[in-house]
Each structure stands twice: as C-alpha cells, then as structure tokens.
Amino acid sequence: MFKCLQVDKDEHGYRTSCTQIDEDNLSQGNVLVKVLYSTLNYKDALAITGKAPVIRSFPMIPGIDFSGIVEHSESNEFKVGDKVLLNGFGVGEKHMGGLAQKAKVNSDWLIALPESISPLQAMSIGTAGYTAMLCILALEKNGITPKDGKVLVTGATGGVGSFAVKLLSLMGYSVVASTGSSEQHDYLTNLGATEIIDRAELSAPGKPLMKEQWAAAVDSVGSHTLANVCASIKYGGAVAACGLAQGMDLPASVAPFILRGVSLLGIDSVMRPRADRIAAWKKLAELLPATEMQSIAEVISLEQSIEAASKLLNGDITGRVVVDVNR
C-alpha cells in the first residue's frame, strides 16, 4: 500500500482525498517508479477541485508530472535505480498520475533525469519550466534573438510566466512582465524583468493592429490578451502561446500576420516528441543551478495539495508549488 491523492466522482458527487491504495490499482505500464516529487500545476488544480472536466476516468490520481527512481522495469531503456522524470502524456488525466508515492507508466513517456538536476530541482522546474523553455526555443527557432528587442511575458507571476521571465533574462533578453499583482513587482524584478506593465493594458478588447512594442512574447493567458499581444508585436516578430488563463477564445484579426509578418507559435507540452523534451531539459540543466530554484518553488505535502489547489485557482499562489509525496 502507498499514499496518494485520489479523485472520485459518483452519485455522491466529486471529491478528492488523500488515501492509500495498492499497486494493483495503478494504470498499466512497463516501468514502476518510486515517486519522490510531483508538482501542482494549473491543470492539476482544476482536476483536484473539479472546476473543469480535466479527468477522463474515475477514480484518478492527479499530477501531470513527477520525478523519481525506477523501482521495476520491463524496458531495455531504463533499469532499477535510474533517476527519471515525466511531463504530460495524459498522466493525471486518463492515466494515474504523479501525486502519489508510486506511478506505473510507459517507458517512452519517461526521460532520464539530467545529471546536474536533482529530483527536487526537476519538479521545482516541472511542466511549468519545461513549457517555458519550449516557448523560448520556439521563438529562437523562429529567429528571435536578444538584439531584436524586448520580449513580453504575460501571466508573469504564474508558474510558466515566472520561468519565462527568469529563463529569458538568463539568456540575455530584455523582459517585460505583464501582471495584475501590483504587490509582486519586487518578485518579478528579482526574476529578471526590466519592465512591468499592468495586465489591464492587454486584457480588454483592442484594435486589429496596435503600436509595435515587442520583438516577441510568451503568452499563457489567451483570449483578448493574446489578441492584443499579437497586434502589438513588431514586424517579423513571434508569439509563443501556451495557455488559456483568460480564456480559450482568440478574438483577433489576421492583420498582424499578413501585414506585419507576425508568427503565432502554438506550444504543446503534453505530447511533445522525446527529442524536443530532451533538448528542453538539457537547456534547463545548463541555465538553472539549484540556487535559481529557491526563489521560485515552495514545497508542500500531499495533504496540503488539496487546499493549495483552490489557492492556485484563486490566484493566491506565486511561482511554483512542489509536492513532496513522502512528507
């Protein structure tokens, strides 16, 4: 038996509890991992609270990522004792996830933990940092460099946004952070933001084309914010879109794309090919020593995850939440 978070839905309604289950209750997979750390992402918070239909089958262990040590393997790629990590692939939605002391998954969903990153540091980065790095690599693949000008980050105090600000700064970019949290200006400045704007400047309906301000952007907000960002990107610039905190809609026009040559780059972190995952984590390992993690991550227990999920959805959590599943 081992400890986990479990989400149930039956005639009594939707509920999440911290409980114990047997390995036989796990999903199918050819690698059994002793989980050391997981995280609390926006999608995890939706799953735990039931605020959105994230979970596809019940009961379910939430948790879209984890780090740990291989306990049993039927794969030639991983052996007992290997340190591994996982992000996405429907884990925590339709396959038992990482907010548990054990997880059984398919070997091709795992990648080896980079040697310079500990399991705790890996989940301090988590899907949020991994997604932020995918965004930045996509911008660079599209030709964006630090000399091109300022890069905007929306939702800057969230998990993805915090990492985008930090990583862009470490890579030499001048970063403009957009946030609705005036009390978090020092936090964003410490991460590396050189300028901070109020999210209200971007969240209301805008014009098809607006003043050219930024060379590129990382957007985790969507809706009117993403439309206004696209309308304000300089000629030939690019926007990496990875979230929908404001909404799934995109009330925009084609004007920025056909008149300014702006590129809108969709970033999926869930089903990303392994080569892209390895490249992103390699870059993260190079850029983020342990000292960089301490200002972003808070470590909590499994039991605390339920309350923390509501706080995250209410915007009461800044930065990253790491879950020590063995605490």
pLDDT band at 10 (very low <50, low <70, confident <90, very high): confident
Q: Which residues on neighbouring strands pair with residue 5, listed in sequence order? A: 18
**pLDDT tens digits, residue range 14-72?**
899 999 999 999 999 999 999 999 999 889 999 999 988 899 899 999 999 999 999 99
Do 150 and 241 share a domain, yes or no? yes
C-alpha pair distances (Å), 314 with each of 42, 135, 178, 199, 299: 11, 25, 18, 16, 19
Do 153 and 251 share a domain, yes or no? yes
Average confidence score pLDDT of the chain: 94
- Of the ranges 52-56, 235-239, 319-323, the best mean pLDDT one: 235-239
Residue located via tokens 């959590």: 317
Look at residue 318 and tell me whether its pLDDT is greater than 80: no
Residue predicted with more confidence, 5 or 52:
5
Predicted local distance difference test score (pLDDT) of residue 264: 98
| CATH code (residue 200) | 3.40.50.720
pLDDT band at 160 (very low <50, low <70, confident <90, very high): very high
Predicted local distance difference test score (pLDDT) of residue 295: 54
Predicted local distance difference test score (pLDDT) of residue 181: 84
**pLDDT tens digits, residue range 283-311?**
999 998 755 555 567 899 999 999 999 99
pTM over 0.85: yes
SS (H, E, C) the chain: CEEEEEEEEECCEEEEEEEEECHHHCCCCCEEEEEEEEECCHHHHHHHHCCCCCCCCCCECCCCEEEEEEEEECCCCCCCCCEEEEECCCECCCECCCCECEEEECHHHCEECCCCCCHHHHHHHHHHHHHHHHHHHHHHHCCCCHHHCCEEECCCCCHHHHHHHHHHHHCCCCEEEEECCHHHHHHHHHHCCCEEEECHHHHCCCCCCCCCCEEEEEECCEHHHHHHHHHCEEEEEEEEECCCCCECCCCCCCHHHHHCCCEEEECCCCCCCHHHHHHHHHHHHHHCCHHHHCCCEEEEEHHHHHHHHHHHHCCCCCCEEEEECCC
Do 191 and 82 share a domain, yes or no? no
Do 198 and 158 share a domain, yes or no? yes
**CA nearest neighbour of 252 among 210, 197, 217:** 210
Predicted local distance difference test score (pLDDT) of residue 176: 98
Do 200 and 240 share a domain, yes or no? yes
For residues 317 and 184, is the Cβ–Cβ distance under 8 A? Answer: no
What total of structural domains would you count in the chain?
2
Predicted local distance difference test score (pLDDT) of residue 64: 96
Predicted local distance difference test score (pLDDT) of residue 291: 56
For residues 301 and 322, is the Cβ–Cβ distance under 8 A? Answer: no
Do 75 and 100 share a domain, yes or no? yes
Residue 232 backbone dihedrals phi, psi, to 5 degrees: -115, 5
Look at residue 1 and tell me whether its pLDDT is greater than 60: yes
Do 224 and 254 share a domain, yes or no? yes
Do 67 and 131 share a domain, yes or no? no
Do 104 and 152 share a domain, yes or no? no
* Domain membership of residue 133 as a residue range: 127-266
Task: Establish if 224 belongs to a structural domain.
Answer: yes
| CATH code (residue 29) | 3.90.180.10
Do 37 and 147 share a domain, yes or no? no
Predicted local distance difference test score (pLDDT) of residue 300: 96
What do you get for the CA distance between the two ends of the chain, in Å?
16
**pLDDT tens digits, residue range 264-286?**
999 999 999 999 999 999 999 99
Separation CA 71–CA 34 (nearest Å): 6
